[in-house]
Amino acid sequence: MKNANLVLHCGANLVAREALAEIITPEPTDTWYPIGHTTFLHQIERALMAAQMEIVEQSHSLTREGARYFGLMQISSHTHADNNEFAYVLGLRNSIDKSFPAAIVAGAQVFVCDNLAFSGEIKVSRKHTLNIMRDLPRLVGRAVGLLSEKWTCMERRIENYKSAVIDDRQAHDLLIRSLDCGAATPQQIPAVLNEWRHPRHEEFAPRNAWSLFNSFTEVAKEGSLAVLPKRTTALHGLLDSHIGFRAVNAGDVTAGMEDAEVQVN
């Protein structure tokens, strides 16, 4: 299986999937119940299989002597097999040193430029506390089950972005507004503007919202993956509002679960 376009940060090392099983998980305490990286991965793989989704590519990394894990999975769906614009990507993380909870976030990978835009439409995290193994399968399963719905939403969003013509004046206004909503930093604006004026991929030459969106994500992929969900969610909000696109919200997935946090936009 091929490696996805995994961006490594803070000294993380790309590893084979088998290496995750070599990391020893500490014994639980009265208030802390760590789960192994492989255990976490198995839960996600089972949920994907149940939803008739396939892992096309995957990458895994470890840092802090294996105590912290981050991975990416590119997912294909039999329901959306004819899509050739983008793929959904799951970002995964887990720790066995109390640094952060087990978490997944769904994002989109645009094929033509290999951008990773974590839209934050589905974000799931579960603290390492009592009953994590009771809650995690249901939590992950429900989140994966929402992917097909969000896939359809993303296809509709891209169609609307492509049909929304944007001239230079509107693009410049949206660039400034992107600072107000947190979709970009002041340091990124010149690079985004250059991508808009001189797109490196001819597919983004048309002057529309899709081209502008990819101007942002082309620049964003050079930054930290940790902030991509927040920034891309803000970018979607900015562009959706500008063109009048409304995404359908899904319901809560945390009913009856402890120490779980989920965002479904």
**DSSP letters along 19-84, please?**
GGGGSPPPPP-SS-----HHHHHHHHHHHHHHTTEEEEEEEEEEETTTTEEEEEEEEEESTTTT--
Segment among 52-61, 103-112, 225-234 with least mean pLDDT: 103-112
CB-CB contact of 213 with 161 (8 Å): yes
- Output the pLDDT for position 87: 73
- Output the pLDDT for position 75: 86
Q: What is the number of helices (H) and of strands (E) in the chain?
A: 7, 8
- Output the pLDDT for position 256: 46
- Output the pLDDT for position 173: 98
- Output the pLDDT for position 85: 67
Higher pLDDT, 170 or 121: 170
CA 55 to CA 88: how far, in whole Å? 10
Rounded to the nearest integer, the mean pLDDT of the chain is: 82
Which residues lie across from 123 on neighbouring strands?
105, 263
pLDDT at 131 over 80: yes
- Output the pLDDT for position 73: 87
- Output the pLDDT for position 28: 95
- Output the pLDDT for position 2: 47
- Output the pLDDT for position 211: 96
Higher pLDDT, 207 or 80: 207
Q: What percentage of the chain reaches a pLDDT higher than 70?
A: 78
- 128: closest CA among 41, 45, 29? 29
pLDDT at 265 over 60: no
CA 138 to CA 43: how far, in whole Å? 9
In the numeric block, which tokens belong to residue 68?
């912290």
pLDDT at 209 over 80: yes
Higher pLDDT, 53 or 174: 174
- 69: closest CA among 44, 46, 32? 44
The SS3 of residue 251 is: coil
Residue carrying structure tokens 């949206």: 174
Q: What is the pTM of this model?
A: 0.70
Domain residue spans of the chain:
13-147, 157-243
- 260: closest CA among 140, 159, 88, 121? 140
- Output the pLDDT for position 169: 97
> CA dihedral defined by 68, 13, 183, 113, rounded to 10 degrees?
-140
Higher pLDDT, 54 or 248: 54
CA torsion sign for 257, 259, 260, 263 is positive
pLDDT band at 164 (very low <50, low <70, confident <90, very high): very high
CA torsion sign for 246, 141, 111, 71 is positive
The SS3 of residue 208 is: strand
pLDDT in tens, 28-79: 999 999 999 999 999 999 998 888 888 988 889 898 899 999 888 888 876 6
pLDDT at 257 over 80: no
